[in-house]
Structure 1
Amino acid sequence: MYKVGILTVSDKCSQGERKDRSGKLICQTLAENGYEIYTYKIVPDEEEIIIQHLIKWSDELHLDLIVTTGGTGLSPRDVTPEATLKVVKKEVHGIAEALRLEGLKKTPHAMLSRGIAGTRGETLIINLPGSPKAVKEGLEVLLPILSHALAKLKGDPTECGEGPA
């Protein structure tokens, strides 16, 4: 079972002014699909705080997957992609492209999402937008590939028929 961290990035949620529906939706959906929700946290839109959590969860907790929600738009306080770029060692462009492409089928606003995906060690980090609707749609895109991506990141040579017969 893969260990997951969910990081909600929102000034209003972190101050208790709004309920975090998006982070809870990620927790519920991934748990229903066999992922262990190891940690969940709400933080403000502060680049250094986001960086600290991503590094700690990757390097110390050795999580397999970190999914962020929020802070991916054009608002001056939206800094999740910038923080993530400072943490990841390899970008996984196809994930972010697929999320935007699928989102564009539903709304032209999807092209404004700046979320990225990448790896740090054996941890896959994916940014999702902050709206519950966009999170639901994003998870529908991700679920079919997540276990394969995580197995490959761990170096599993038997995934998808590779390796010895």
Structure 2
Amino acid sequence: MTTKAPTDATPRVAQIIVASTRAAAGVYPDRTGPVIETWLLDRGWSVAALDVVPDGDRVGQALGAAIAAHCDLVITTGGTGVSPHDETPEQTLPHLDRLIPGLAEELRRRGAASTPLALLSRGYVGVARGRTVVVNLPGSTGGVRDGLAVLDDVLPHLIDQLHGLDHTP
């Protein structure tokens, strides 16, 4: 299924936050952010920014700024695992007013069809300030593609609901 444009035709704005200490330091280029950016642009979204930040507090700061800028969607990639530096979920949770656990569970379930390591992801999906959807995706291109396939199925309806639009799928 391919995500259709939002039903009210209002341009939607997204921000991408890549959590990778090594990519932020220039050790290697990030490969996940461009995958997300292309996916968003192909679906009619405007991308406000693609930020590559080190793991930890900078993720929370970037999230806070994107939410304050009234982005409709913030997708993070990376930092969702169990290594000592993976803190994206801890940086995300304080910003969320409402969790969407079923969507986070489906991200893991769908990813597990590709690799059992997807079950180690601790990512959240939720709503911040009643209007911004925040999605934590893993830091691999495969995990990102699996996650975007899940979003394809539900994102237009989710955004429409947050904007008070039609509840019919």
TM-score by length of 1: 0.92
| 1:101 and 2:109 matched | yes
Shift of 1:20: 0.8
Unaligned runs of 5+ in 2: 1-10
1:137 paired residue number: 146
Shift of 1:159: 3.8
Shift of 1:144: 1.9
User: Using the alignment, how far apart are the partners of 2:157 and 2:24 within structure 1?
Assistant: 33
1:152 paired residue number: 161
User: Using the alignment, how far apart are the partners of 1:34 and 1:123 within structure 2?
Assistant: 17
Q: Secondary structure at the match of 1:40?
A: strand
Shift of 1:75: 0.7
User: Using the alignment, how far apart are the partners of 2:36 and 2:82 within structure 1?
Assistant: 22
| Amino-acid identity (%) | 38
Out of 48, 66, 72, the position equivalent to 1:64 is: 72
Q: Deviations over 1:67-119 (max 9, x none)?
A: 00000001100000011011111111011001011111121111101111111
- C-alpha RMSD over aligned residues: 1.1
Shift of 1:54: 1.1
Count of residue correspondences: 158
1:25 paired residue number: 35
| 1:10 and 2:29 matched | no
Q: Secondary structure at the match of 2:168?
A: helix
The structure with the greater share of residues assigned to helix is 1
Unaligned runs of 5+ in 1: none
User: Using the alignment, how far apart are the partners of 1:35 and 1:65 within structure 2?
Assistant: 10
Out of 56, 80, 90, the position equivalent to 2:98 is: 90
Q: Deviations over 1:3-45 (max 9, x none)?
A: 0000000001000011111011000111111111111100000
